[in-house]
Amino acid sequence: MKKNIIEKVELKIIAAVDDEEDLLELLEVNLQKANYIVKTFINGKTFLSYLEREVPDLLLLDMMLPDTDGLEILKTVKNTKRTMHIPVIMLTARGDETDKVVGLELGADDYITKPFSLKELTARIKAVLRRADGVIEKSEIYAGKAVRIDLMKHEVYADNRKIELTSTEFNILVMLAERKGWVFSREKILQRLWGNEKMVIARTVDVHIKKLREKLGKNGDIVKNIRGVGYKVE
């Protein structure tokens, strides 16, 4: 007689920080229906206190909070070793492109402007988590002679020094390194990483490439900008 085997599925934890209680309740109900564990926080102080005890799988972060600037929280998350890998989606009522670019430069993976549909937000969350998890087939690849990418551990080393990258920066580097010499347009990179689930400005790719080059230091020039076309790794 066969026994029924129940596969244990580990649910992803999403932390949502916003000063609108109604929105937090709406997010909690709908994201729980999508099989996520949801932790909600009405201000930055309570979230940072929680972060000392637990590390979520993804952060939804409002840029305008009553007690602190959301960008300051983003800096704290991305500059702390135990939390810097957390994918971050910014929630913002601001329509100014500059605010979005600043968030991306600080390490955010995506942004969505209020008001937004819950269906779109859920799609964004799935896309970001999918990029963060990745599907690994090979163990490691090289981007230039001195830059090694460990695909199993999701780590990058330049001159044998570990480089801390965001999930988006990591996936862009892997995409370019897998096809050395190929030129990928901004649109192609956006399509590969975000699919059809979002519309983003082409500047998004430029911001992530800029940060990637800075983190690679003297090896940053392995990522070439082909003017008017896109990017490649030689």
- Region of 77 please: left (phi>0), alpha (psi -120 to 50) or beta: alpha
CATH number of domain containing 73: 3.40.50.2300
For residue 1, is it within any domain? no
Among 113, 133, 153, the domain-final residue is 133
Domain of 185 in residue numbering reads as 140-233
For residue 71, is it within any domain? yes
For residue 6, is it within any domain? no
Among 90, 118, 133, the domain-final residue is 133
Which has more confidence, 194 or 50?
A: 50
pLDDT tens-digit map of 82-109: 888 899 999 987 666 677 778 888 888 8
State whether 22 and 119 are in the same domain: yes
Lowest mean pLDDT among 13-22, 29-38, 51-60, 124-133: 124-133
For residue 8, is it within any domain? no
State whether 118 and 217 are in the same domain: no
CA–CA separation, 59 vs 109, rounded Å? 10
For residue 97, is it within any domain? yes
State whether 42 and 127 are in the same domain: yes
* pLDDT for residue 42: 95
For residue 4, is it within any domain? no
Number of domains in the chain: 2
Lowest mean pLDDT among 7-16, 76-85, 145-154, 166-175: 7-16
State whether 166 and 122 are in the same domain: no
Lowest mean pLDDT among 27-36, 138-147, 212-221: 138-147
* pLDDT for residue 8: 44
Among 106, 133, 160, the domain-final residue is 133
* pLDDT for residue 77: 92
